[in-house]
Structure 1
Amino acid sequence: MRERVLITGGASGIGRAVAARCREDGYEPVVIDREAGEGVIAADLSDPGQTAAALAEALRSGPITRLVNNVGVVRPGPLEEQTLADLELVVSLNLRCAMQCAQALLPGMKEAGFGRIVNMASRAALGKELRTVYAATKAGLIGMAKVWALELGEHGITANAVGPGPIRTELFDRANPHNSPRTRAIIEAVPVRRLGMPEDVANAVAFLLDARSGFVTGQALYVCGGMTVGAAGA
């Protein structure tokens, strides 16, 4: 039986690319997503009760020792317009869900003496306008990974984060029309002069999920085309 990987929000965008890469690498992806589909466990992961039920269903076939906490939501806006409702939703989906999933899979990982946890953070964790609550949660996912690395290393479990920069997903294309001045400005700000693709992120996730990556833990790997390095020529 193939080893399984739990991927939250794996029905579209980066999550879908991660699921496809997991299949290529010989794993069986187990996807939990709000969007129902073939092989998808449908659940609103912003709700703790639905999350618990979906996790129980995922684990019914046995332990899962690899986890990609990918699901997330953005509520953009300037500080004075961010609401407590925005904060509660984004914290619940981006942070609480990640912790709840890790807690559910942890007993199986400890029993196996092996585990891989990858949290999907963002370049926004380093600071981005109009992202108060989003950036806070993405920085929190990096912090969680560092704490889990310290707590779980003796059990053969690694925990890391991946921080994508601008990635061309369906959501990105809807918000940034092709050849618009805004889209061109984004591309020109990337040192490699292109947008990232979901497969770029999936490649980084695949490295961290690999059994051979056991000496890499507590790290944040930015997949951003060099945007986190600094301004060119500065």
Structure 2
Amino acid sequence: MTDHTALITGGSKGIGADLGQRLLERGYRVISLARNVPDWSHERLEHVAVDLLDADAVAGVAADIVARHEVTHLIHNAGLIWPSLIEEAKPEDIAGLAQLHLGSALTLVQACLPAMKARQFGRVLFNGSRAALGVPTRTAYSATKAGMVGMARTWALELAPHGITVNVVAPGPILTDNFWGIIPKGSDRETELAKRIPVGRLGTVDDVTNAFLFFCDPASSFVTGQTLYVCGGASVGSMAL
């Protein structure tokens, strides 16, 4: 057992669920914030239903959680894509994903900071995306995921004196429901995309969780303000000659 409590947004499925389960194995308490109830349970898992697109709802949930728990690890994993070409993109798409990817994170970290500062320890993590470097049809998604990087770097500088690290894990492309919502599972398109990844395959949930676990570790105290791309080399780029 540890005295660590991880608050994970989007903890009911995919990367968030896998990370929650692996932290539970390490003795953490885990609080999942998601619209859907997890299809798994554990005696140290608490699920809190909330729509992170609703700023007022997030504020209310945040206040309730920190009144009952001392959160040591905040992992902002929840995300939506909302793909569209430039011609179909709308300003409200940017505003909505800004609330989900950035505004909800700000509300949650503000609620958790007093206890983290008192303890002189904390871990704040974002699930970013390789798409922050640019992907067609990702106007709102790429913009707000790129915003995570700037916000994390700023927070890292402000919180370093308090023993709190802030880092970004930037996956892509990873075999999750979000991915299959864009590219059909088992399709020729999926196969061709895998061939274009330098390592020759698409990523798995485990690949991403392993990176999060490194940043979660109390021993990883000298790494902050960083973005780690978990993308099989897709962020480096390659050209076939």
Normalising TM by the smaller chain, what interval? over 0.9
2:210 is the alignment partner of 1:198: no
- 2:3 and 2:28 in contact (8 A); partners too: yes
CA distance in 1, matches of 2:108, 2:143: 20
Distance 1:133 1:173, change over 3 A: closer
Aligned residue in 2 for 1:15: 16
Aligned residue in 2 for 1:64: 71
- 1:21 and 1:203 in contact (8 A); partners too: no
Partner deviation per Cα, 1:161-180 (whole Å, 9 max, x = no partner): 00001111133234333442
Aligned residue in 2 for 1:29: 30
Aligned residue in 2 for 1:171: 178
Q: Which amino acid letter does the alignment assign opposite residue 132 of structure 2?
A: A
Shift of 1:232: 5.1
CA distance in 1, matches of 2:79, 2:123: 19
2:136 is the alignment partner of 1:136: no
State, as a whole percentage, how many aligned pairs show the same letter. 43
2:214 is the alignment partner of 1:213: no
What SS does the aligned partner of 1:175 have? coil
Q: Which amino acid letter does the alignment assign opposite residue 57 of structure 2?
A: Q
2:147 is the alignment partner of 1:146: no
Q: Which amino acid letter does the alignment assign opposite residue 66 of structure 1?
A: H
2:191 is the alignment partner of 1:184: yes
Shift of 1:10: 0.7
Aligned residue in 2 for 1:105: 112
Distance 1:174 1:84, change over 3 A: closer
Shift of 1:112: 0.4
Shift of 1:19: 0.8
Count, aligned residues: 234
Please show how residues 42-57 of structure 1 align to structure 2 within 5 Å. 42-57=49-64
CA distance in 2, matches of 1:82, 1:177: 22
* Structure 2 unaligned regions, length at least 5: none
* Structure 1 unaligned regions, length at least 5: none
Q: Which amino acid letter does the alignment assign opposite residue 94 of structure 1?
A: H
More off after superposition, 120-129 vs 28-37: 28-37
- 1:158 and 1:217 in contact (8 A); partners too: yes
Shift of 1:65: 1.4
More off after superposition, 15-24 vs 135-144: 15-24
More off after superposition, 180-189 vs 207-216: 180-189
Shift of 1:146: 0.5
Q: Which amino acid letter does the alignment assign opposite residue 28 of structure 1?
A: R
What root-mean-square deviation, in Å, do the aligned CA atoms of Structure 1 and Structure 2 show? 1.5
Shift of 1:201: 0.6
Q: Which amino acid letter does the alignment assign opposite residue 15 of structure 1?
A: G
